[in-house]
């Protein structure tokens, strides 16, 4: 039985538009004193990807429309932020207690369409990457090319959830790893056939990385080693529950 | 920056009612070659606790009532299992596609009141522990007494979630660790004050342990080392969202 390790990668500087994340990760590995191994999973926080991809918006440049203004008033939020939230979403799932839960264009259900203002700078807001699976793939390919190892990449964000307080980090993009580990059809030692068990391993990987780095350390990338997983290009998009199976639309 | 490690504890035998989990964990640590350190977190799967506490029921002894029979027919489930699901719940949150989502007596919202038939034996079903926070506390105290170290315990189960496919392991009990790590009021490096950020660290710990052990390895306990956390006896019960703040009742 293998041990699992999460290694925070040190000294990645503040990211700006056009930053070469692959190069910065490689330099950081050297600084941290780790050498890539086959199967290593690189976990990259959404904000690092959004900044490198230029998905940061100045609120001053946003002109809120009627719908945004009304919703902002009801939920006591900045109308410019609400305009962005609506723009990045396909529908509002719930609004109340100052919280706006939306379905993003990717199909993720989360607060504020995943937009947030922490760790970006005054008057700025970071949007989710346009295609986090593609971002993951680009980083994976870059790292694999440079190291010659078979690697995986998970891009993560911090999501709340119904019924339970607090948030956990989950995967919004991935490459080189199957997001789900299906046990359906496998038997336990008593011969009982598992039916629905399908751990969302990329979400558990996201959470493990959050544990090791926290929110305020300025460490956007960590390396997770020792997880058994299947290779796949299904992407985190495949985690989105199909409408017809969704009991909570 | 500390590295995080998850160490599966080897050779814990099949558990039966009255089993001394603390003693079995101590023996397993010796077998695995690890010595407890201050801050170590022991993650114990719910089924191990349920078995040791005798929370295993023979379906043959259950006589389903009218309500259970109707719901079982609609969801194509064993009426005896549905009787148990209803008995262990305070309300049915949703039912559809062969899935029954309930609120358990603890306040957790999950499929089948957390009852399941895998890894228990033919014709048997494992119920959640009556008080998983208390179970966690007993194990923590036993381990602390034997090792002289300050430790934490998290009892975990596998829950689905709305909108996202698959499941992740989450905490249903904990002791010696604060379930939430509140950042509210803290400033990022730009001076932006975080408002709602509150990672549910015990859920992330549960997921990290699941990654290292999987579902069919017969390893019910693992040790998580290298997490920064606050000590607390709030328990996982404090993760239950207050009704008045719940947008998804």
Domain A59-125 architecture: Alpha-Beta Complex (3.90)
pLDDT at B1: 60
pLDDT at B189: 82
pLDDT above 70 for A208 = yes
- What letter does residue A237 receive in the DSSP assignment? G
pLDDT above 70 for B7 = yes
Average pLDDT of span A182-211: 89
**Nearest CB to A211; choose among B99, B204, B245:** B204
Write phi, then psi, for A102 (nearest 5 degrees): -125, 165
Contact A93, A79 (CB under 8 A): no
Helices and strands in chain A, H and E counts: 6, 10
Residue A21: half-sphere exposure toward Cβ, Cα within 13 Å: 29
B39: pLDDT confidence band, cut at 50, 70 and 90? very high
Please list every residue in chain B whose beta carbon sits closer than 8 Å to the beta carbon of residue A180: 165-166
pLDDT at A249: 78
Class of the domain covering B5-55+129-241: alpha beta
pLDDT tens string A119-148: 888 999 999 999 999 999 999 999 999 999
SS3 A26: helix
* Cross-chain residue pair B166–A179, CB shorter than 8 Å: yes
Contact A220, A12 (CB under 8 A): yes
* Cross-chain residue pair B121–A199, CB shorter than 8 Å: no
- The region of weakest confidence among A48-52, A234-238, B62-66, B189-193 is B189-193
pLDDT above 80 for A2 = no
Distance CA B108, CA B125 (A): 19
What is the ipTM score, two decimals?
A: 0.96
Superfamily of domain A5-55+129-245: CofE-like (3.30.1330.100)
pLDDT at B164: 96
B214: pLDDT confidence band, cut at 50, 70 and 90? confident
Handedness of CA B114, B118, B119, B120 (dihedral sign): positive
| Token pair 């009991």: residue | A247
pLDDT at B137: 98
Question: Which of A45, A164, A187, A193 should be substituted to probe chain B, the one whose Cβ sees the most B Cβ atoms within 10 Å?
Answer: A164
- Higher pLDDT, residue B156 or B214: B156
CATH for B57-125?
A: 3.90.1660.10
pLDDT tens string B117-154: 988 889 999 999 999 999 999 999 999 999 999 999 99
Contact A209, A169 (CB under 8 A): yes
DSSP output for chain B: -PPEEEEEPP-PPPP-TT--HHHHHHHHHHHHT----TT-EEEEEHHHHHHHTT-EEEGGG----HHHHHHHHHHT--HHHHHHHHHTEEEEEEEETTEEEEEETTS-EEEGGG-B-TTT-TTEEEPPPS-HHHHHHHHHHHHHHHH-S--EEEEEEEEEETTEEEEEEEEEEEESS-S----TT-B-TTSPBP-S--B-HHHHHHHHHHHHH-SSS---EEEEES---------GGGGBPPGGG-TT-
- Min distance B142 CA to chain A CA atoms (Å): 25
Count CB neighbours of B17 within 10 A. Answer: 11
* Cross-chain residue pair A226–B212, CB shorter than 8 Å: yes
Closest CA to B211 of B201, B222, B202, B200: B222
Domain borders along chain A are 5-55+129-245, 59-125
Contact A246, B163 (CB under 8 A): yes
Share of chain B above pLDDT 90, in %: 84
**Nearest CB to A1; choose among B196, B217, B246:** B217
Nearest CA in chain B to A167: B199
DSSP output for B188-246: -TTSPBP-S--B-HHHHHHHHHHHHH-SSS---EEEEES---------GGGGBPPGGG-
**Nearest CB to A5; choose among B4, B96, B183:** B4
| Token pair 């939430």: residue | B180
| Token pair 């992330």: residue | B204
Average pLDDT of span B215-226: 91
A13: pLDDT confidence band, cut at 50, 70 and 90? very high
| Token pair 């949007």: residue | A127
Phi-psi region of A43 (alpha: psi -120 to 50; beta: other; left: phi over 0): beta
Nearest CA in chain A to B170: A204
**Nearest CB to A101; choose among B170, B212, B247:** B247
* Cross-chain residue pair A97–B165, CB shorter than 8 Å: no
**Which residues, other chains included, contact A13 with Cβ-Cβ below 8 Å and sequence gap of 6+?**
A24
pLDDT tens string B68-117: 999 999 999 999 999 999 999 999 999 999 999 999 999 999 999 999 99
B4: pLDDT confidence band, cut at 50, 70 and 90? very high
Question: Which of B9, B166, B179, B240 should be substituted to probe chain A, the one whose Cβ sees the most A Cβ atoms within 10 Å?
Answer: B166
B5-55+129-241 matches B57-125 in fold: no
* Encoded tokens for A30: 């050297």
pLDDT at B186: 84
In what helix (H) or strand (E) does residue A206 lie, and over which residues does it extend?
helix A201-213
pLDDT tens string A77-126: 999 999 999 999 999 999 999 999 999 999 999 999 999 998 888 999 99
Share of chain B above pLDDT 70, in %: 100
pLDDT at B190: 82
């Amino acid at each position: 039985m293998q041990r699992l390790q999460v290694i925070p990668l040190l000294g990645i500087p503040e990211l700006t538009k056009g930053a070469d994340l692959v190069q910065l990760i490689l330099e950081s590995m050297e600084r941290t004193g780790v050498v890539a191994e086959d199967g290593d999973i690189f976990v990259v926080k959404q904000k690092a990807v959004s900044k490198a991809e230029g998905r940061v918006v100045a609120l001053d440049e946003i002109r809120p429309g009627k719908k945004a203004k009304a919703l902002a008033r009801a939920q006591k939020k900045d109308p410019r932020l609400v305009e962005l939230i609506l723009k990045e979403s396909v529908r509002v799932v719930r609004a109340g207690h100052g919280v706006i839960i939306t379905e993003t264009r990717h199909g993720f259900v989360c607060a504020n369409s995943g937009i947030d203002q922490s760790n970006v700078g005054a008057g700025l807001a970071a949007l989710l990457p346009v295609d986090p699976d593609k971002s993951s793939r680009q980083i994976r390919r870059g790292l694999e090319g440079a190291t010659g190892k078979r690697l995986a990449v998970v891009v993560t964000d911090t999501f709340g959830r119904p019924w339970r307080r607090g948030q956990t980090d989950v995967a919004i993009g991935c490459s080189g790893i199957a997001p789900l580990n299906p046990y359906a059809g496998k038997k336990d030692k008593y011969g009982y056939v598992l039916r629905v068990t399908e751990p969302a391993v990329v979400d558990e990987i996201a959470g493990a990385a959050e544990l090791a780095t926290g929110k305020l350390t300025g460490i956007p990338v960590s390396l997770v080693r020792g997880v058994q997983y299947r290779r796949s290009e299904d992407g985190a998009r495949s985690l989105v529950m199909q409408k017809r199976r969704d009991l909570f639309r």
